Structure 1
Amino acid sequence: MKKFLLGVGLGYVLGTKAGRGRYEQIVRTYRKLVDHPMVQGAAGVARAKVSEKFGRR
């Protein structure tokens, strides 16, 4: 969660300095990355391993 908030904050700061168009480009790129099936699969595997290690289900 902290990394997500950091990414959002960084995108906001970079976007405001570079202008609205650049900000929108950063947001689109971030969303494409997060929504990519390989990233979703890796996130699922990571969640399962963390759950397994810490016993949360």
Structure 2
Amino acid sequence: MAFQLKPNRKESENKTIRFPVELIDRIDKAIVNQDVTFSSFVIQACEYALNDMDTSKNQ
């Protein structure tokens, strides 16, 4: 299934994370004219990656 942006979520906790500048630029370009924040995009991208991650190597 392709990655699809969803509306912002409510419950959250602050975490500090560093991103490469190039990645920040790519994310900023991806969310232009979308009804999504940078944080929401990152959360959704992480959820997508975790849901589609091959966990067979970890067992």
> TM-score interval w.r.t. the shorter chain?
0.3 to 0.5
* TM-score, structure 2 normalization: 0.38
Tell me: higher relative CO, structure 1 or 2? Use CA pairs within 8 A at least 6 residues apart: 2
* TM-score, structure 1 normalization: 0.39
* Structure showing the higher helix proportion among its residues: 1
Higher-Rg structure is: 1
